[in-house]
Chain A
């Protein structure tokens, strides 16, 4: 069922319920009013009948009747008035032939209530018990006019109900149709989007309504997807380039070595050159593997509690062993409690993040010197990595999480531009933050905040 049809049916159902309720109310009020009016007429008829029978004025006064005002002849259809004694004998009947019968139970009710209105089929009755004379006065008739009016009203209400329902249905369908037309147009445009025109924007309406919002959100989604695709394309491009460079260099070195006869010393030098490039390749593939693993990492299953300072020492040891000439200082920014140093996380990944920052300092600092400062208070842990050297540009800072984005800062130094994005990813899956700030003109400060 389409949204248009569903809206139209729902609205029609609501209108139908309202119409039925109002019709029933109008009919019920009119019916009650008719009955009340006819009841009064029958009562008057009963009193006229009693008066014509020659009853004394005291009985009429007992009934609250002002004779001069109320006793006016009324035309009633098929009327019959009876005056009946307490032992159920007809004393007077107009017309003389009685056309109905009254049960003993009804007589008892009239006697008890003194005045009683009741109905049998179309005929309505009003009975009065005259206590002094011990007799019943009963007036009856058919309210032909009233019942005809009621039947007409019923017909009108049913007719109006169906006419309005059809009219409302048509109007609703037209209204919903025109209200949802932009949505249909949007749907048609989206249907026409294929892989060839994937980045084409919809741009349907310029208003501020919901349709315009959906359109603009759809366009924003397409823009984000485009950016993600572009990033992925760039990533593949940069990764391919980084893989090709050492391979080309290795190929050229090997080719040169094969083309001429080398001394043992020259062969050794060639092999050492090849080893450097192989190490770069290993480094690059390891980084790429690490980045790809984050996507499918079920992180919660590999969490452990450990001391952050011990992990920093491990990373420092690794840095000293693998980055010759690096000088690393380590200190505390405050005097922490021992249990403030405990952290819940993944040791291997965090160590990898620290090593990346140590390597970063080794590659890009002027004096190969790095200061690591640890701050731990309550559940907040901050680790600052401070080194001197070229500072990052604003665009690199804002795109730090994007692989290869720091290439523009690399310059002539051998690096691949994946380190900072790896650190960013590791810290983000630990629900921490990784930030960079510049101190004076040539000091870089990377801060990892964990909690």
Chain B
């Protein structure tokens, strides 16, 4: 996501690139880890970095 700043990264791509796995994207796995990430880099700061594209993926701004 950092390498592709501004570009939406699909959930499936995140799964493959991060864990080298291809889960059924119907699970909440990506949401859980994005939530962990937000707790670390978004919540403590005023400026938010991670944005969601509903039913598709995430991007950094």
Contacts and interface: CB of A to CB of B under 8 A. Distances in A.
Interface in A331-375: 331-332, 335-336, 338
A336 B29 CA distance: 11
A317 B28 contact: no
B16 to A, nearest CB: 12
Given A338-B36, A338-B39, A332 B20 contact: no
Contacts of B2: none
Interface string A387-421: 00000000000000000000000000000000000
- Indicate the member of B24, B32, B39 with the most A CB atoms within 10 Å: B32
B20 A331 contact: no
Interface footprint category on A: 10 to 19
B19 A313 contact: yes
A331 B23 contact: yes
Contacts of A338: 36, 39
Interface in A315-336: 316-317, 320, 328-332, 335-336
A329 B23 contact: yes
B26 to A, nearest CB: 8
Contacts of A329: 23-24, 26-27
Contacts of A313: 19, 21
A359 B26 CA distance: 23
Nearest to A327: B24
A317 B20 contact: yes
A332 B28 contact: yes
Interface string A50-75: 00000000000000000000000000
Contacts of B23: 328-331
B20 A335 contact: no
A335 B30 CA distance: 11
Interface residues of B, number: 14
B34 to A, nearest CB: 11
A336 B35 CA distance: 10
Contact of B28 (A316, A320, A328, A331): A331
B27 A317 contact: no
A335 B24 contact: no
Contacts, number: 34
A332 B35 CA distance: 13
A335 B19 contact: no
Interface in B21-50: 21, 23-24, 26-29, 31-32, 35-36, 39
A316 B21 CA distance: 9
B29 A331 contact: yes
B27 A336 contact: no
Contacts of A330: 21, 23, 27, 29
A317 B29 CA distance: 16
B28 A335 contact: yes
B27 A335 contact: no
Given A336-B32, A338-B36, A338-B39, A331 B21 contact: no
Interface string A254-284: 0000000000000000000000000000000
Contact of A335 (B21, B26, B32): B32
A332 B23 CA distance: 12
A320 B21 contact: yes
A320 B23 CA distance: 12
A383 to B, nearest CB: 14
Contacts of B39: 338
Nearest to A338: B36
- Indicate the member of B23, B31, B35 with the most A CB atoms within 10 Å: B23
A12 to B, nearest CB: 78
Contacts of A316: 21
- Indicate the member of A316, A317, A328, A332 with the most B CB atoms within 10 Å: A332
B31 to A, nearest CB: 8
A58 to B, nearest CB: 115
A317 B21 contact: yes
A320 B27 CA distance: 18
Interface in B1-28: 19-21, 23-24, 26-28
A332 B32 CA distance: 8
Contacts of B27: 329-332
A329 B25 CA distance: 9
**Smallest CB-CB A-B distances: 5 pairs:** A331-B27, A329-B24, A332-B32, A338-B36, A331-B29
Interface of A: 313, 316-317, 320, 328-332, 335-336, 338
13 contacts: A317-B20, A317-B21, A320-B21, A329-B24, A330-B21, A330-B29, A331-B23, A331-B26, A332-B28, A332-B32, A335-B28, A335-B31, A335-B32
Given A313-B21, A317-B20, A330-B29, 18 more contacts: A317-B19, A317-B21, A320-B21, A328-B23, A329-B23, A329-B26, A329-B27, A330-B27, A331-B23, A331-B26, A331-B27, A331-B28, A331-B29, A335-B28, A335-B32, A335-B35, A338-B36, A338-B39
